[in-house]
């Protein structure tokens, strides 16, 4: 009898250990990534059961970011209190009852307009010194604000961790159940190490990517919005200067992401091939020695290991470029804000505390932009792994035989096969013209 043959285009069958004694070599092409948007959407679909908790995560993120954004403004007010106290001591020798406005009028009359403009940005009582009571209350409020922000951030991270881990638990179950429904032809053309790499390495990478990107993306986006609002409240001019970082960040991120996506896909595919090589070589060590393939095994391993090295180095190198580039852009903006802000303080348009708060906001503004750039590469890696897992989940499943097989009588004394041929691909026979007779006992 002859077994049914699959449709044309199926992968060629492998030898006893996956392509001969040593399995597949480096000839396997690196496939291109699937549509990123579709793959990412399908990946996020595994979180739908956790929609309610995801809403809680976003709400906690809003509270955490709101408190974090308030902090620099409060610290700026503290700086104003300290500076106003020091300035007031400079006028301790004026007659009692002299007001701040009278001092400013006198400075203007003396032709000291710039000094008068500087004093107009603060409120003080001549000779009073620093108001330590008000400063202490303000610092306690700042402490409470940052403690609250940390608490909300911790709760958010804890809930999100549970959401991601439960999603990965369901994905592992889905993969495990899928494996039991796959036909034998799949295991003939896919190496065990490659399959193990998808089930373990790729699923773990998906979990790590979701864990880090979901949390950082939510916090970063909310931080950018909140900080941007506060910057426009303090100084629209300085806010416009800070906004210059956005197009620069987008350009750098897009340029790097285009190149890194292909490298991340190559990295994970090469890792799967290398794992398959190691697993089959170790488990079939005796076969390798019998066929005298030790030297070929070493050569193949070295080549595949080199491919993993090159792909990993390229992907991680490009990922590492983003953060230094964002820091450089942030430093340029920092210098511009310091110069323009100093001029506005001298002109009486801003207080020193406002400039200090704005500089902190500029750091808070560029940091999430840098994180979003880094998260883009991490997300690329996660989606590349997700594509490999989805390829497994989309494999055709084992179907029932079109005709029920004949049942061997229980009292049969002999079991005989005549002219049996079997192959998965038309031109790659596995069993050809086999005749076998097995007597009872």
pLDDT in tens, 329-350: 778 888 888 889 888 887 778 8
Tell me, what's the pLDDT at 2?
A: 38
Asked, for residue 413, whether it belongs to a domain, the answer is no
Q: Which of 26, 27, 45, 40 is nearest to 385 (CA)?
A: 40
Q: CA dist 75 to 70, 135, 297, 356, Å?
A: 9, 10, 65, 8
Tell me, what's the pLDDT at 23?
A: 37
Higher pLDDT, 325 or 235: 235
Count of domains observed in the chain: 1
Higher pLDDT, 39 or 66: 66
Asked, for residue 15, whether it belongs to a domain, the answer is no
Residue 67 pLDDT level (bands cut at 50, 70, 90): very high
Asked, for residue 50, whether it belongs to a domain, the answer is yes
Helix H or strand E segment including 432: strand 428-439
How many whole angstroms separate alpha carbon 383 and alpha carbon 18?
28
Rounded to a whole number of angstroms, the distance between the first and last alpha carbons of the chain is 25
Q: CA dist 425 to 20, 28, 188, 260, Å?
A: 16, 18, 11, 36
How many whole angstroms separate alpha carbon 439 and alpha carbon 203?
48
Tell me, what's the pLDDT at 20?
A: 36
How many whole angstroms separate alpha carbon 208 and alpha carbon 374?
14
Examine the pLDDT at 12 and tell me if it is beyond 50. no
User: Domain range for residue 147?
Assistant: 37-92+127-393
Q: Supply the CATH number for residue 178's domain.
A: 1.20.1560.10
Asked, for residue 254, whether it belongs to a domain, the answer is yes
Asked, for residue 26, whether it belongs to a domain, the answer is no
Asked, for residue 399, whether it belongs to a domain, the answer is no
How many whole angstroms separate alpha carbon 391 and alpha carbon 270?
16
The lowest-confidence range among 39-53, 150-164, 192-206, 408-422 is 408-422
At 228-258, the pLDDT tens digits run 999 999 989 999 988 887 787 778 777 777 7
Beta strands in 276-426 (DSSP E): 414-425
Tell me, what's the pLDDT at 405?
A: 67
- Which DSSP state fits 175? H
Q: How many CA atoms lie within 13 A of 110 on its CB side?
A: 10
Tell me, what's the pLDDT at 28?
A: 33
At 101-146, the pLDDT tens digits run 777 777 777 777 777 777 777 776 777 778 888 889 999 999 999 9
Examine the pLDDT at 4 and tell me if it is beyond 80. no
Asked, for residue 28, whether it belongs to a domain, the answer is no
Examine the pLDDT at 178 and tell me if it is beyond 70. yes
Asked, for residue 285, whether it belongs to a domain, the answer is yes
Q: How many CB atoms lie within 10 A of CB 406?
A: 6
At 77-106, the pLDDT tens digits run 888 888 887 777 777 777 777 776 777 777
């Amino acid at each position: 009898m002859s077994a049914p043959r699959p449709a044309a285009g199926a992968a060629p069958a492998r030898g006893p250990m996956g392509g001969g004694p040593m399995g597949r070599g480096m000839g396997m092409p690196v496939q291109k990534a699937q549509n990123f948007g579709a793959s990412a959407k399908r990946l996020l679909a595994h979180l739908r059961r956790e929609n309610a908790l995801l809403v809680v995560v976003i709400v906690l993120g809003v509270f955490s970011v709101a408190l974090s954004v308030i902090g620099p403004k409060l610290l700026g007010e503290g700086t104003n209190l300290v500076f106003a106290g020091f300035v007031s001591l400079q006028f301790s020798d004026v007659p009692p009852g002299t007001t701040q406005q009278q001092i400013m009028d006198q400075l203007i009359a003396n032709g000291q307009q710039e000094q008068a403009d500087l004093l107009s940005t603060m409120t003080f009582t001549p000779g009073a010194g620093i108001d330590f009571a008000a400063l202490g209350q303000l610092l306690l409020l700042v402490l409470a604000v940052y403690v609250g922000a940390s608490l909300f951030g911790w709760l958010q991270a804890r809930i999100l961790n549970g959401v991601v881990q439960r999603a990965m638990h369901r994905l592992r179950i889905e993969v495990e159940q899928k494996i039991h429904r796959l036909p034998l032809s799949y295991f003939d053309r896919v190496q065990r190490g490659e399959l193990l790499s998808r089930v373990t390495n790729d699923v773990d990478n998906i979990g790590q990517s979701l864990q880090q990107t979901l949390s950082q993306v939510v916090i970063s986006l909310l931080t950018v919005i909140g900080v941007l609002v506060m910057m426009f409240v303090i100084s629209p001019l300085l806010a416009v200067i800070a906004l210059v970082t956005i197009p620069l960040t987008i350009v750098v991120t897009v340029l790097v992401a285009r190149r890194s996506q292909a490298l991340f896909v190559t990295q994970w595919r090469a890792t799967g091939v290398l794992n398959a090589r190691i697993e089959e070589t170790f488990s079939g060590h005796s076969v390798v020695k019998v066929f005298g393939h030790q030297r070929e095994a070493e050569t193949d391993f070295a080549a595949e290991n080199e491919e993993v090295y090159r792909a990993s180095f390229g992907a991680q190198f490009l990922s590492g470029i983003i953060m230094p580039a964002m820091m450089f852009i942030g430093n340029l903006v920092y210098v511009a804000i310091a110069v323009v802000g100093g001029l506005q303080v001298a002109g009486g348009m801003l207080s020193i505390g406002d400039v200090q708060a704005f500089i902190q906001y500029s750091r808070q503004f560029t940091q999430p932009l840098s994180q979003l750039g880094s998260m883009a590469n991490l997300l690329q890696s996660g989606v590349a792994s997700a594509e490999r897992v989805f390829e497994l989940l989309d494999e055709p499943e084992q179907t029932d035989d079109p005709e029920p097989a004949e049942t061997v009588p229980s009292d049969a004394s002999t079991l005989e096969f005549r002219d049996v041929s079997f192959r998965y691909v038309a031109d790659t026979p596995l069993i050809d013209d086999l005749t076998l007779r097995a007597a009872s006992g």
